Homo-oligomer: A and B are copies of this chain.
Amino acid sequence: MGKEMVMAKDGKEKGAESRKENVQQKRLKNREETLSKIKGFAHDLVQEIEKAENPHIDIPVRGSSNVAFDEKNKKIVLGSKVAKRYLFNVAHARRFMQTMLVASYVKKDLLENNLTATLRDLYYSKKHTISGTKEDTIDEQKESDLAIVDFEVALDTFRERLHLRAEPKGRMAGMFTIRDYVQDRESLIDLSKLGSGGLAIPSIVEQIEFVDYDIDYVLVAEKNAIFDRLNEDEYWKRNKCLLMTTAGQAARGARRLLQRLSGELKLPCYALTDADPYGWYIFSTMKYGSMALAHESDRLGCKELKFLGMSISDIEHYDLRNVTIKAKDVDIKRAQEMKAYDWFKSKPWQKEIDKFLDKKVKAEIQSLSSKNLQYISHTYLPEKIKSQDFLP
């Protein structure tokens, strides 16, 4: 099932120059779009000031009181509640000022210079003592982080469009060629030729182009150890898949990339985590988004993602009873909470959680090593995928 995508195979081909120009124009357009949103945002405030009104920002309310599950689109979303933040209100003024600092940094330091930065860079850059006072603009980074999210939701955009990076995490390998850009430098990257390390998944993946590929699905493993096992067994080559690891809870880059692979290339995506509530949580965050980032589910959730395993039924089916781990009280409590979440209300998941609550044991993916090291590559994964034995 070989697939071939548009684009030149190397930068020297005919048409490469115009392709490069197109890409640069697209990136410029994205920047200008965000800049114009920021200008609009500022313009509204200036108008209020000119009319001698109390300048305010509309900020959609975050937090559980305004978070809902969109059943149809399979994502955790923000509701319609909006808070108004006023400059002339002692309870609002500080956060109002901090939101302006964020806006100014994003516009002048980042977008206009075409640079990216971390939340911490922003904090350091905008923290100072307000002249004539003993008051600091920002005391703790927590404050500027909140102001950044305020600004994101007020602008109806997302962090990467504001050129703000998160901590990168995860690796990938497969018969897959991508093109990545750092400023004007482009790299054509063949993910089948990166040895035992693989490509580190960057924090911002918006600019990545899918050049060509020969794969049938994407397999995303929670653990580095599983990536290393499958990479050593050349699982991705033998089974035509793109192999990713999130190295724990998935970072923004890995989540967005998964969404793009599923949405743009229509590739089936399967998640592989431990059989425990933490594994389910990692899965559900990749699939539906999270309550904390409900405003970003649109671009971080991969609604077609399926849970390959490890399931509680796998423990019996693959005779792993001797290598399970007794669930702790905190696991039981977490499972009970998750059972009540709207996004775990489907019958198969309710059954899965009930089974866990009944048996009170969990299992790690690595417990398959008790059979033999390559059991996961040669037996477990091929069987599960062949029988399409997934949880939704």
Contacts and interface: CB of A to CB of B under 8 A. Distances in A.
B182 A189 contact: no
A249 to B, nearest CB: 15
A91 to B, nearest CB: 28
Nearest to A181: B195
Contacts of A165: 225, 228
A42 interface: no
Q: Is the interface of A mostly helix, strand, loop or mixed?
A: mixed
A187 B194 contact: yes
A286 to B, nearest CB: 19
A205 to B, nearest CB: 8
A189 B200 contact: no
Given A202-B196, A232-B115, A167 B225 contact: yes
A197 interface: yes
Q: How many copies does the complex hold?
A: 2
A113 B372 CA distance: 11
Contacts of A196: 180-182, 202-204, 207
A118 B203 contact: no
A370 B182 contact: no
A203 B323 CA distance: 26
A204 B168 CA distance: 21
A112 to B, nearest CB: 12
Contacts of A125: 369-370, 372-373
Interface in A179-217: 179-183, 185-189, 193-204, 207-208
